Amino acid sequence: MATKAKLRFVAIVDDDELMRSALEGLLQTAGMPAQAFASAEEFLESGQLQHTACLIADIRMPGMSGLELLAKLNAEHCFIPTVFITAHGDTKLRMQALRAGATECLAKPFKNEVLLSNVRAALED
Amino acid sequence: MTAMRSAAGIGLGYGLGLVSLGIALVLTHAFLYFQLPQPFTAFALCAIAITFWYGGTGPGILTALLSALIRTFFFQPGVDGLSRIAYDLVFVIFAVLMIQATRARNELEVRVAERTAALTRANQDLKIDIAERRSIEEKLRRSKSYLAEAQRVSHTGSFGWTLSSGRIYWSEETFRIFELDPATKPTIPLILERTHPEDRQLVQQTIDIAAEQRSDVDFEHRLLMPDGSVKHVRVVGHPSNSDGAADVEFVGAVMDISQTKRTEESLRRSENYLAAAESLAHMGSWVWEVPTRKVLYLSDEWYRIYGFDPRNGMVTWEERTERNHPEDRERWQATIDRAIHAKTGYDLEFRIVLPNGNVRHIHTIAHPVMNASGDMVRFIGSSADITERKAVEQSLRRSEAYLAEGQRLTKMGSWSANITTRQHLHWSEEHSRLYGFDPKAKLPTFEEISRRIHPEDRKSVLAKFEEGNRDGKDIEADYRVVLPDGTIKYMHTVGHPVLKSSGESGEFFGITRDVTQKRLYDQEIERLRQTQADLAHISRVTTMGELTASLAHEVNQPIAAAMTDANTCLTWLTRDHPDVKKAWEAASRVVKATTVAAEIISRIRSLFKKSVPESTAVDVNEVIREMTLLLRSEMMQHLISTRAELPRRAVWVMGDRVQLQQVFMNLMLNSIDAMKTASGRRELAIKAEPADNQHILVSVSDTGTGLPPNHLGQLFDAFFTTKREGTGMGLRISRSIIEAHGGRMWAAANSPRGAIFNFTLPIAEDAQG
């Protein structure tokens, strides 16, 4: 798994630049390679889907939302373990995300360890 | 007395005889003493002769007798009678001779005396003749002198001209007039030579005619002097004997009338000037005789003013009286009658009616002329056409009335005062009313006025006046006036220094306006503005309250990032081998994120804050970007995309930043609300572009449900809303804010669906830099 993880990277999709930078810095502490994208569309068009070991995405973004991205990946049989992060951390939205196939849905602000453990878990799946 | 003198003379004669005889005796005795021949007879004859010559005949005879006796008895006692007789005869004959000699002498004396008297008389007559002659000569000389002086003074010379000989006689003055040496011989060619070239022919002809016809001459001509000056002379001549005699002499006078000509010219010029002056001043002059009412003189201007033609001759009293305006005729007559009665002049304004119906206003001033006995004989005076002045006066009165009415209507009074001397020079009636003084009373004093100024304002107002006076600058002051009944008025006064030609200041002219109504209105406006601001604030706060979730999300984003970064930083630091560089990078991100969070909070707080609106330069683009960011979460929540089309350069407007943010917030939220339930693409577009050179046009469009078709006219009404929980104040407040910023707001339908809200704002050109 470690080899697998080293070969692939964790994709970060968030329209908020601050959060993208923070997540990149966080993953770096765990030794996880990461690549950030400002929107779902940018990620889909990046051609990096097959190298994506895990996806950390914001649910609410301009244009395509995180849920729509996940649905689109699923529809294209591109099953990437996904951890959602959202500032609107209500239960209803969390359930909606989990039902859509997300590994976890974390509310901002979240604890770094929780996110890292969820990413690790996603990568192990 | 004559008899006494005669007696005395006779006595002296006899005495002389005795004395001389006695002397003869003495001398004879002396001769005899010295034994000389006896000389008595000789001495006696001498005594007789002396006595006869000087004492007269009687004493002489007596002396002769006494001599004969003395000689006989003293010196020839022994002499015979013959000898004695011979001696006596000698004495007698001598006496007779002496009597004859004396008589002859007396006769000669008488004749000499008579001749002398005759000569004396003749001499006296001659003296008288000489004196008379001298007197006549003196008179003649004086007369000639007077004549010459008279000729000189009167510049009149005399001449004589004998036709036969051609000889011409000139007086000294004539020479002087012709400026020729008296030694010069006057001739006709000489006269012609001195004559002005233009007059030579006239003079020559006149002389020829006079010589031929021997008639009187009287003509004027000019002389051209050597120095180029011109003299005017009048020549008057008369033939001395024009009865056909061959030798005719013209006698006459040459008068230098240059001065008269100059005086005439000057007089004529003066008359022309006077006429021109009268014409310019529209003033005619006249003289009329009081007892007869006869008009003696009327100037040309008088004729013009009264509409008479001078060529028709003197205007009669009746004709002149008929020109009087019927309404003024009685007053005019009464004034003249009073003046005649009181023997004074008169000064009167009245109207006349010209034949064409035009009415003229006349101002006439008359001065009485009295004779020696004190009776009024004439009135001399002037009549000025003051029609234009009257029109100006009327216009001025009307202007003053309008000004006073204008001041009354605008509650504005004018004043003029010398601040240095603290004296008011002018107060309009309205100004008095503003201060509660009687407009008809005298000007109030500085102290009285000061007492009317509100005690709290008095010092500052006076200080402003003093300062303006000291610096020679305009005065402007707002203050309150307390009327006697306690009413308070707000005044605004401005004053401008009036500099005199001497440069002395102190005098100001100004106006004072009662701004009580405006002040109350301003206060009301301020109160309304404050209410609107409060309402806007409430609306803003309410709106912000509704946006709490979205705003929380906006704040949450950077905070979440900051927390992540902070923990990351700790992770790098708490490792066995802390990576300070990584930790520093993480900490930097924390700072950045928290700064963003602080900015968002500040932006939100400013919208919550209740502050006094202030006008600053605001970049519309920036406001749009700020509000788009602030509402980003709200829009994302409802899956609304935004599109902004903004000018590349900043667009500056003068306004209150928060209020303009509120406008954008209201419009954007309205659009978001309209699109919440709308199907299809949800897009909020914000566009800013120049409307013209002076305004920016901003439009906020959406693809929502659109405007309510039946209530388009009520969109901007207060409390009108189509939303279930709306207050109906959002658009009302937004439009008020835009209009307060000098702009305009309106709404229209968007195509193919939705609504567009447009507004304009004036561009602050100065702020654009």
What pLDDT does residue B81 have? Answer: 67
Yes or no, beta carbons of A25 and B559 under 8 Å apart: no
Interface test with B, best of A17, A18, A111 (most B CBs within 10 A): A18
- Name the closest residue on chain B to residue A114, using Cα atoms: B564
What pLDDT does residue B561 have? Answer: 92
- Name the closest residue on chain B to residue A107, using Cα atoms: B560
What pLDDT does residue B504 have? Answer: 65
Q: Which range has the worst mean pLDDT, B565-574, B612-621, B706-715, B738-747?
A: B706-715
- Name the closest residue on chain B to residue A108, using Cα atoms: B560
Yes or no, beta carbons of B639 and A65 under 8 Å apart: yes
Interface test with A, best of B553, B563, B567, B600 (most A CBs within 10 A): B567
What pLDDT does residue B244 have? Answer: 56
Q: Cα(B538)–Cα(B728) distance, rounded to whole angstroms?
A: 13
Q: Which range has the worst mean pLDDT, B70-84, B181-195, B306-320, B395-409?
A: B70-84
For the stretch B703-747, pLDDT in tens is 988 887 777 777 777 666 776 666 666 788 888 889 888 899 998
What pLDDT does residue B76 have? Answer: 67
Question: What does the mean pLDDT of chain A come to?
Answer: 87
pLDDT at B546 over 60: yes
Cis peptide leading into B182, omega within 30 of 0?
no
Per-residue pLDDT band for B768 (boundaries 50, 70, 90) equals very low
Pick from A16, A63, A112: CB nearest B557 = A16
Pick from B553, B562, B585: CB nearest A87 = B553
Tally of helices (H runs) and strands (E runs) in chain B: 23, 22
pLDDT at A1 over 60: no
Per-residue pLDDT band for B198 (boundaries 50, 70, 90) equals very high
Yes or no, beta carbons of A18 and B561 under 8 Å apart: yes
Which DSSP category does B73 fall into? I
Q: Which chain B residues are Cβ-neighbours of A19 within 8 angstroms? A: 557, 560-561, 564
Pick from B552, B561, B571: CB nearest A19 = B561
- Name the closest residue on chain B to residue A60, using Cα atoms: B636
Highest mean pLDDT among B406-410, B484-488, B549-553: B484-488
Which of B723, B618, B613, B710 is CA-nearest to residue B666?
Answer: B723
For the stretch B303-359, pLDDT in tens is 999 999 999 988 999 999 999 999 999 999 999 999 999 999 999 999 999 999 999
Task: List the B488-498 sheet strands across, edge first.
Answer: B423-427, B412-418, B507-514, B488-498, B475-482
- Name the closest residue on chain A to residue B590, using Cα atoms: A22
Pick from B559, B560, B568: CB nearest A25 = B568
Yes or no, beta carbons of B557 and A22 under 8 Å apart: no
Yes or no, beta carbons of B586 and A19 under 8 Å apart: no
Pairing of strands A52-58, A34-37: unpaired
Q: Cα(B316)–Cα(B322) distance, rounded to whole angstroms?
A: 10
Per-residue pLDDT band for A66 (boundaries 50, 70, 90) equals very high
Distance from CA of B638 to the nearest CA of A (A): 10
What pLDDT does residue B718 have? Answer: 64
What pLDDT does residue B336 have? Answer: 93
Which DSSP category does B421 fall into? T
What pLDDT does residue A5 have? Answer: 42
Which of B500, B450, B504, B498 is CA-nearest to residue B477?
Answer: B450
pLDDT at B78 over 70: no
* Average pLDDT of the residues in A55-74: 90
Q: Which residues of B666-695 are buried (b: 16+ CB within 10 A; e: fewer)?
A: bbbbbbbbbbeebeeebbbbbbbeebeeeb
pLDDT at B117 over 60: yes
Q: Which chain B residues are Cβ-neighbours of A110 within 8 angstroms? A: 560, 564
Strand ranges (E), B225-271: 230-239, 249-256
Yes or no, beta carbons of A62 and B641 under 8 Å apart: yes
* Average pLDDT of the residues in B211-219: 87
Q: Which chain B residues are Cβ-neighbours of A112 within 8 angstroms? A: 564, 567-568, 571
Per-residue pLDDT band for A3 (boundaries 50, 70, 90) equals very low
Query: Model-level pTM?
Result: 0.44
Q: Which chain B residues are Cβ-neighbours of A18 within 8 angstroms? A: 557-558, 561-562, 589, 592-593, 596
pLDDT at A58 over 70: yes
Yes or no, beta carbons of B565 and A25 under 8 Å apart: yes
pLDDT at B767 over 70: no
Yes or no, beta carbons of B568 and A109 under 8 Å apart: no
Q: Cα(B3)–Cα(B65) distance, rounded to whole angstroms?
A: 27
pLDDT at B502 over 70: no
Which of B441, B432, B434, B493 is CA-nearest to residue B462?
Answer: B493
Yes or no, beta carbons of A29 and B558 under 8 Å apart: no
Tokens of B97: 């001779």
Give Dmax (Cα) for chain B.
236
Yes or no, beta carbons of B560 and A87 under 8 Å apart: yes
Q: Cα(A102)–Cα(A111) distance, rounded to whole angstroms?
A: 18
Question: How many CB pairs lie under 8 A apart between chains A and B?
Answer: 82
Contacts with B756 (C-beta within 8 Å, 6 or more apart), sequence order? B699, B700, B701, B747, B748, B749, B750
Contacts with B511 (C-beta within 8 Å, 6 or more apart), sequence order? B412, B413, B414, B415, B493, B494
Yes or no, beta carbons of B560 and A108 under 8 Å apart: yes
- Name the closest residue on chain B to residue A62, using Cα atoms: B636
Greater confidence (B504 vs A26) lies with: A26
What pLDDT does residue B29 have? Answer: 84
What pLDDT does residue B505 have? Answer: 66
Share above pLDDT 70 across residues of chain B, in percent, rounded to a whole number: 94
Yes or no, beta carbons of B561 and A16 under 8 Å apart: yes
Categorise residue B474: left if φ over 0, alpha if ψ from -120 to 50, beta otherwise.
beta
Pick from A18, A61, A88: CB nearest B558 = A18
Contacts with B630 (C-beta within 8 Å, 6 or more apart), sequence order? B551, B554, B600, B603, B604, B665
Per-residue pLDDT band for B699 (boundaries 50, 70, 90) equals very high
Q: Which chain B residues are Cβ-neighbours of A67 within 8 angstroms? A: none
Q: Would you say the C-alpha torsion B142, B144, B150, B152 has a positive or negative sign?
A: negative
Q: Which chain A residues are Cβ-neighbours of B589 within 8 angstroms? A: 18, 21-22, 25
For the stretch B375-385, pLDDT in tens is 999 999 999 99
Tokens of B755: 């609504």
Distance from CA of A61 to the nearest CA of B (A): 6
Contacts with A89 (C-beta within 8 Å, 6 or more apart), sequence order? A105, A106, A107, A108
